[in-house]
Amino acid sequence: MPSDFTIVQAVRQRFGDADPDFSLAQEVEAPFVGAAKDFPFVCPGVDSREMALLQFESLGVQAGSFQPFVVPQPPPRNILRINGVDIPGGITPAAAERMGGQVQHFWKSHTLLVPADVLREQNVLHIAAVKYSLTTNQANLDNFIIDNVVVHFKLRAGGTSRPPVAHG
């Protein structure tokens, strides 16, 4: 069965709030989008009866990590939806290491299955930061970066391939 892909977002996007604890100093040039953003994208000729793949990279995700003495466990993860449907697995946290009084975050690659009957010709990827309470500001949002978002999908019979469309 033929397949295709769409580049949903090719420019780093920084999510969260204006938290002074934001420790991704090496990525300050990434555009700040705030608490949430919708990314419209197209999948021409998609066979919506088939599952698809969503791939992206993240940096600095902390929400969803184990937090001692915090109930409930596991704590909520940042929101990742396509066309209003939560994508199983979501945005999981990556490893971080304390070095010289500062936290060093590492890039994490994600490959998630998009359930059947979610993708359409016209789609919206919604990403939102959730509250993360283990910082100086106890009511702030998780601060993280998303980059290189791509959807791989199967084409319906008679569907045609075309050059990928990027929206950024």
Residues 49-79: pLDDT tens digits?
Answer: 999 999 999 998 888 776 666 666 666 889 9
Q: Who wins on pLDDT, 138 or 116?
A: 116
Query: What was the pLDDT predicted at 165?
Result: 58
Query: What was the pLDDT predicted at 157?
Result: 85
Phi, psi torsion values for 48, nearest 5 degrees? -70, -10
Tens-place pLDDT, residues 5-34: 999 999 999 898 865 555 566 667 788 888
Tokens of 61: 């995700």
Q: Which residue has the tokens 């359930």?
A: 115
Tokens of 17: 């709030």
Q: Which domains can be identified in the chain, with CATH numbers?
A: 3-154 (2.60.120.1200)
Tens-place pLDDT, residues 80-135: 999 999 999 899 988 878 777 777 788 999 999 999 999 999 999 999 998 876 55
| ∠ Cα 61 5 166 (to 5°) | 70
Q: Who wins on pLDDT, 73 or 149?
A: 149
Q: Who wins on pLDDT, 161 or 49?
A: 49
State the Cα–Cα distance between residues 70 and 143, nearest whole angstrom: 19
130-134, 135-139, 159-163: segment of lowest average pLDDT: 135-139
Residues 6+ apart with CB under 8 A from 137: 19, 20, 21
> Nearest Cα to 74, choosing from 86, 83, 62, 84?
62
CB 66 within 8 A of CB 74: yes
Helix (H), strand (E), coil (C) string for 44-77 = CCECCCCCEEEEEEEECCCCCCCCCCCCCCCCCC
Report whether pLDDT(162) > 80.
no
- Residue 26, classed as helix, strand or coil, is helix
State the Cα–Cα distance between residues 41 and 44, nearest whole angstrom: 10
Query: What was the pLDDT predicted at 74?
Result: 66
Q: Who wins on pLDDT, 118 or 144?
A: 118
